[in-house]
Structure 1
Amino acid sequence: MTQTALTRSTVSLKGYGSLIPNTNIAADVLRAHLLSVSRPAVCSQRLSRPRPYSAQTVVLRPDRPDPAPPVDVETLSQNERHNSLPSRARQRLANKEFFTSLLSSAATKRDAKAFITRLKNPIKTSTSTKPPASVVPTEDQSDVNLGDLFGRSRAMEDSPVFTQFEKESEQSIEEQETLHVALVKISNVSAMSEDILRGIAKTLSSLTRLSMVPCVVLEEPEQLDGTTRRQRLRQTADRLVGAIDYVSEFGGRRLDNVLSFGADGRARVFLRKLLTRPLRRSRIPVVVPIAYSEESQHAVSIAADEAVLALTRELVGLDIKPRMDVPSEHAVEEVKSMRKQISVDRIIVIDETGAIPSTKSIDRKHVFVNLEQEYSAMQEELRSSTDGSVSPKHASNLKLFRDALKLLPHSASGLLTTPLEAANSSRTSDEDVSNVGTRRQKNPLIHNLLTDKPAYSSSLPTRRLGQDRPLSSATNSTFIKRGMPLVMLPHPDVQPWKAAGKPRLKLTDPEIDLDRLTYLIEDSFNRKLDVPAYLKRVNDRIAGVIIAGDYEGGAILTWETPQGASDSDTSRLVPYLDKFAVLKKSQGAGGVADIVFNAMVRTCFPNGVCWRSRKDNPVNKWYFERSRGTWKIPGTNWTMFWTTPGLSDPDKSQTFLDYESVCRNIQPTWADGKKIAD
């Protein structure tokens, strides 16, 4: 996203933004940006002379000069900028940083559209079609500052309202709207610098603007006990709330009386409205992990992880009990209605230990975790590791994600990152990541919200990120999904995928649902498969089959014989990816393709595999990024890909010639009669 796009997007909202202060302004800006991308000629006519977005104080009208002299903010530090500018200019600077970070974090136009679809503007009904007097434009409001669009002022928010009954319209809004919530655990706030804390507060405020209200739980090292520890937790909470108040229109609120112990001894929320009212007002609750015992009437400090799970159970409605004073069928419907009001979409942990380490991947970090497949092995790896970078917090954080995401829908996800990355706004990276000049670092929380993906694909080799040092990582964050099981037949730990291995698996094996596998292939390729002809070609050559989830994705790999070689000469057999398929509904989401591809190249065929694709296949960009090399086969419509190390000289490598021979001569087995090569 360029600065010009940012300017166009923000300017396009000027004319009407002040009339709808409660809409999702971020979504509007993205819509305006997408419109400018799709219709550049029209936008250039309408905005023939866009005014660059400036952080300096500007004169909105000739007859209304600014009360303060302009300040050269580019030469000041971040704190000096905020402290030296008038309030309006400070708000304008904050908006500039917010939208720059927002637009630079939207990886693609497709991601931006998906975000807008997920988080639509709330539609609020009103008994009057006339806008309130407070938002009716006057002559003096012809050029409205974008910073005034983000809801009611704090004075209005904190003003007492004397009413005996809630308005019916307000009740209907609360019942109809879905409140999107991110549960955020922040560790060791007391040790953070003011710059880092304020950066995190700014990121949390940005999530609120993007219609994902954070609910924060504090975690402090257990070095103190009793009253002293509780006092320290409250002081830390006040410090974070103060930072949020400084950068947010709606501010934060400390909650140190929202948890109690249930009859089973488990922490729970004892008064739901104490939690939901700030959330619905877009105020960020900062929950202190203190629970009250109804039996002993004492306040007790509890683990932050326990508090996060208690909040998760409450917000998803698992702890809601039907009322006894209403008929049972009405009570059940009431509980169902309350459960639909709130959607917990993210579990976020901000911890200085950072991403979960890996002893197997090149960059030494887990970028993406599929809990269904990897949890047990990762916990064992963390427990047995002697690496100094591995902390007990990594194992406990991983367990928290597992326990919390179990309570949430499959669409929910988790993110583990460091305070430094969470505080990152729109600053330019000091490192030249791609060797083509500086680029803005993506804030992992904003990027994850917009895309529901990790900062970069987990199947993308580190060398593709332009890293000068192989062990350095482009991110210090781990993206986590409840995920899906992964089946590898035969399992490489039991029977390695070797050319000499016998007996070989067949697609007619009882462990494989051939009908569902066929549907997966046909849905992914959008073509009918000639099943008998395909089985005849591959059934005696199967190296293995990978199946992700409920046949949501999969791969069929074979041992192929190049021309001039014998089937009995296992040294010449080529490991070949015959089919790589993902259901259309799962393409681009959930990491299905990454899960299957990683299993293939890291577990099943770590020494390399080859495949082919039409030269004009749109998926080739994805293949190019993940392969070690490519070759456009002369005289054909095929591009050959491989992951085999050291395969670079086609004139001297017999392996390369064998790969080309296989990719050139395999005959397709489709039933649609089309003559195109695929």
Structure 2
Amino acid sequence: MLSHTVLHGPRILSPAAASALKARRTQTFRAFYATIRSLRQPPPTVEVDDLDSPDNDFILSLLKANPSLRDTKSYLANFGVRPQTPEPADSIFPSTRPSTSSVPKEAPNISVNKQPEQLKPTPGPIVSSILDPVYRRTALVKLQGPFTNKQLDSIARGMVYLEKLGLVSVIVVENDNLVRGDDGERSAIIEEIMRVARPVLGTVVRLGPKPDDELPEPHDFVPPEAHVFPSDLVAIRSALRAGEIPVLPPFALDSFCRSVRIDANDVLGALARGMAEAAALDDNGMKSGSCDTHEDYSQDINLVPMRLMIISREGGVPSYAREGFPHLLINVNSEYDYIRDTYDPSWYKGKPSSLSNLSLARTCLAYMPPTSSAIMVSHRSPSSLIANLITNKPAVSSSLPHALLQGNRKLTRDTPTLLRRGLPIQVIRSLADVDKTKMNNLLEKSFKRTLGADAFYRRLEQTLDFVVVAGDYVGAAIVTNETSPDSSEPISYLDKFAVLPSHQGDGTVDFLWVALHDESYGLGHPFSINPNGGKEGKGEGRDLVWRSRDDNPVNKWYFERSTGHMRMGSWVLFWCDAEKRLKVEEGRRANAGLSYIEDWEEGRLSRWADVVTKIPSAWK
């Protein structure tokens, strides 16, 4: 148990202790300037053998992220150039650049005889950076040590690289080795934060609930036991405006205005709420024109936290599905209780703070925008932070087949865990419980076609097996039982898989597919026991079959998640084998392995194709 002794201020040190502390602080400042300030300057010429590992190289980190076109568009939407306000016609310095909207789609031909003096000079990089500023966003970072100087240097590089990409970090430092109430605790914590970046030694957070809060209401998260007023953020705003990375100790002011050490998670939770509220006040003031022109805030930095980063020696949250390796993606809304209730006691030895950090993520994400995410990452993989910033996705998709995930070299004990606020997931077994109006809206917006609702639901009344619904019908998977004349066992058919366009790319697709897996071909596995109203892993898995037009752009995603596929004219037939049955067959064969086609697979493709091709279209 940690001691809960409250510190009432700095302790008086002996001359010898003060001298030792001064020496350590001198070394600390050297480390500080070496890790942050020097990274902003051009690197000196070094021998090849003296170079850091490629993991810390900024360009290689960007290339390793391998963002898709959608990822790139999403990044530019958050960090790209903001629309420029049109200048008045009588401006003294008219803009020399046409707006994006005024550029023709096809540029006119330029005559090769044009004189050089008629060509406008290309602005230099400094001018371009001023004309096209990167829109800077903020991230909250929990730095949970202790770390060595080399480890801190690696982490600091990651923070600076993120700043180059537009994400400015606000760091709260915690040291698990410093027990509350020990002598010299306060000095040790201050020394620790001065090893990282610009220290903000003034206490920002206040202990206790916010005074103007009404009676506490029940939350689905743990509210922080601290709060922040907008005026308390002056030091942080000043650091961000100066291009510095502010670092805070886990201190708070109590009711007697004493600076006391509190849980770093409460500091981060209070900052998440306070920064979001301060940004809302800034926006309202700017819209109404009533903001104080002398107030210390910067308009070019959005204070609303966009990311929460928990950097520790432990990394992500361990998972049964990964045999103790970290979860890849967590839907906090629907998986939080399940993960806490089923946490293996043996994991506490190596990862004692996983559940408290999971709780921190749920608290902060509740105050952050729905598109925000949290990442729990080991200090050994700082380059993962860049990949997360650009793609906002886990290192490997959690909806891939488990056979591929278990053999994937990218998955190690240091693989980060990505967390999203997510959506509740429910499994519906009766068509009467389906909200048809919302389902119609989802299907038509997702497929961009008009649904023949009457015929579609008449068919579902006879064939429906279950429906997986994400959130308030922002996504759904409809599975039916299709009778086969050649078999007494019906075919499990994925009739519709749809996600609203506004939720494509925010993790909903993966959340939905994982739930579909747990209710169909993944049944029988211990990691399919998710409390979403379904079978909770009990039962025998069944082969899942579906079809898609051969020109469907989603087919690449289907190819990666299916066991196999077969082309049928203008259609492609996909299927996923029941995982438990494959595991049993592999166990029977031992080292011999499975043959190309097993006896139980004979004729099933032709049977599936015969049944699937006769299913009528649901569209008008």
User: Please, what TM-score do these two structures have when normalized by structure 1?
Assistant: 0.64
Secondary structure class of the residue paired with 1:617: coil
Taking the aligned partners of 2:394 and 2:260, their CA distance within structure 1 comes to 37
- Of 491, 507, 512, the residue aligned with 1:596 is 512
1:638 — aligned with what? 572
More RCO (CA 8 Å, sep 6+): 2
Contact 1:362 1:462 in 2 (8 A): no
Q: Is residue 2:155 matched to residue 1:200?
A: yes
Q: How does 1:231-246 map to 2 (within 5 A)?
A: 231-241=187-197
Provide the rounded CA distance (Å) in 1 between the counterparts of 2:561 and 2:335: 21
Residue number in structure 2 paired with 1:482:
421
The answer to whether residue 67 in structure 2 is matched with residue 117 in structure 1 is no
Name which of 470, 474, 477 aligns with 1:555. Answer: 477
Which structure 2 residues correspond to residues 271-670 of structure 1 after superposition, within 5 A? 271-293=232-254, 295=256, 297-317=257-277, 342-361=303-322, 364-382=325-343, 385-387=345-347, 391-422=351-382, 443-464=383-404, 467=407, 473=412, 476-490=415-429, 505=430, 507=431, 509=432, 511-565=433-487, 569=488, 572-587=489-504, 589-606=505-522, 607=541, 608-633=543-568, 637-645=571-579, 646=582, 652-655=598-601, 657-658=603-604, 660-666=606-612, 667-670=614-617
* Dislocated runs of 4+, deviation >6 Å: 123-128, 142-146, 148-152, 318-322, 329-335, 337-340, 647-650
Distance 1:659 1:363, change over 3 A: farther
Note the alpha carbon deviations across 1:616-643, whole angstroms, 9 max, x for none.
322121111112222334x663333223
Closer/same/farther in 2, CA of residues 99 and 149 from structure 1, 3 Å limit: farther
Aligned-partner residue type, residue 550 of structure 2: K
Give me the whole-angstrom Cα distance separating, in 2, the residues matched to 1:514 and 1:124. 44
Deviation (angstroms), 1:603: 3.8
Q: Deviations over 1:153-185 (max 9, x none)?
A: xxxxxxxxxxxxxxxxxxxxxxx9975110000
Shift in Å at residue 595 of structure 1? 0.9
Alignment of 1:66-81 (within 5 A): 71=46, 73-78=47-52
Matches of 1:581 and 1:357 in 2, distance apart?
30
CA gap 1:104/1:543 in 2 versus in 1, 3 angstroms? same
Any idea what the Cα deviations from partners look like across 1:33-81, whole Å, max 9, x if unmatched? xxxxxxxxxxxxxxxxxxxxxx998xxxxxxxxxxxx65x3222439xx
Whether the 8 Å contact between 2:310 and 2:376 is mirrored in structure 1 is yes
Q: Partner amino acid for 2:48?
A: E
RMSD after superposition = 4.1
Residues 471-498 of structure 1 show CA distances to partners (whole Å, capped at 9, x for unaligned) of x5385211111111111113xxxxxxxx
Do the aligned partners of 1:650 and 1:657 also contact (CA within 8 Å) in 2? Answer: no
Query: Residues of 1 paired with 2:327 and 2:396: CA distance?
Result: 11
Q: Is the 8 A contact 1:185 1:217 kept in 2?
A: yes
8 A Cα contact 1:459 1:598, kept in partner: yes
Call closer, same or farther: CA 1:124–1:217 in 2, change over 3 Å.
farther
Provide Cα deviations, 1:197-234, integer angstroms capped at 9, x if missing partner: 11110110111111111000011124252551111111
Q: Structure 1 residues 650, 512: CA separation in 2 closer, same or farther (over 3 Å shift)?
A: farther
User: Structure 2 vs 1, CA of residues 355 and 389 (structure 1 numbering), >3 Å: closer, same or farther?
Assistant: farther
From the superposition, tell whether residues 665 and 475 of structure 1 become closer, same or farther in structure 2 (CA, over 3 Å).
farther
CA pair 530-513 structure 1, distance change in 2 beyond 3 A: same
Counterpart of 1:209, as a letter, is: K
- Structure 2 contact 456–618 (Cα < 8 Å) conserved: no
Change (3 A) 1:590 1:660: farther
Q: CA deviation at 1:552?
A: 1.0
What is the CA–CA distance in structure 2 between the aligned matches of 1:290 and 1:150, rounded to whole Å?
41
Residue 469 (structure 1) shift: 7.9
Write out per-residue CA displacement over residues 561-612 of structure 1, whole angstroms, 9 at most, x where no aligned residue.
Answer: 22323xxx3xx2222211111112222x121111111011124442242222
**Change beyond 3 A, Cα 1:144–1:469:** closer
SS of 2:277's partner is: coil
Deviations 1:240-266 (A, max 9, x none): 12xxxxxxxxxx344343333367673
SS in 1 for 2:327: coil
User: Are the equivalent residues in 2 in contact too, given 1:226–1:301 (CA < 8 A)?
Assistant: no
With over 3 angstroms needed to count, the CA separation of the structure-2 counterparts of 1:644 and 1:525, relative to structure 1, is same
- Partner-residue secondary structure (3-state), 1:417: strand
**CA distance in structure 2 between the aligned counterparts of 1:533 and 1:198, rounded to whole angstroms:** 64
**2:169 corresponding residue in structure 1:** 214
Query: Identity of counterpart residues, as a percentage?
Result: 26
Alignment partners' CA distance in 1, 2:290 and 2:226: 24
Partners of 1:228 and 1:150 lie apart in 2 by 50
Q: Which amino acid aligns with 1:183?
A: L
Distance 1:467 1:672, change over 3 A: closer
Check conservation: 1:278, 1:284, Cα contact below 8 A: yes
1:496: which partner in 2? none
Please say if residues 479 and 495 of structure 2, whose CA atoms lie closer than 8 Å, have aligned partners that are also in contact.
yes
Contact 2:318–2:324 under 8 Å retained in 1: no
> Would the alpha carbon gap of residues 192 and 387 (structure 1) be closer, same or farther in structure 2, given more than 3 Å must change?
closer
Residues paired across the two proteins, number: 494
- Separation in structure 1 between the aligned mates of residue 462 and residue 497 of structure 2, nearest angstrom: 19
The SS at the match of 2:57 is: helix
What amino acid maps onto 1:670 in structure 2?
A: S
CA distance in 2, matches of 1:100, 1:631: 38
Name 1:247's counterpart in structure 2: none
Offset at residue 669 of structure 1 (A)? 3.4
How far residue 402 of structure 1 moved from its aligned partner, in angstroms, is: 0.9
State the alpha-carbon separation in 2 of the partners of residues 376 and 256 from structure 1.
Answer: 37
The one-letter code sitting in structure 2 at the alignment partner of 1:78 is D
Q: Judge conservation of contact 1:226–1:300 (CA < 8 Å) in 2.
A: no
Which residue is equivalent to 1:260?
A: 206
CA contact (8 A) 1:624 1:641 kept: no
Structure 2: stretches of 5+ with no match in the other structure: 1-41, 96-120, 212-224, 523-540, 586-593
- 2:150 partner SS: helix
Given that 1:563 and 1:662 are in contact with CA atoms closer than 8 Å, whether structure 2 keeps it comes out as no
* Contact 1:179/1:280 (8 A) holds in 2: no
Q: Contact conserved, 2:427 with 2:468, CA < 8 A, in 1?
A: yes
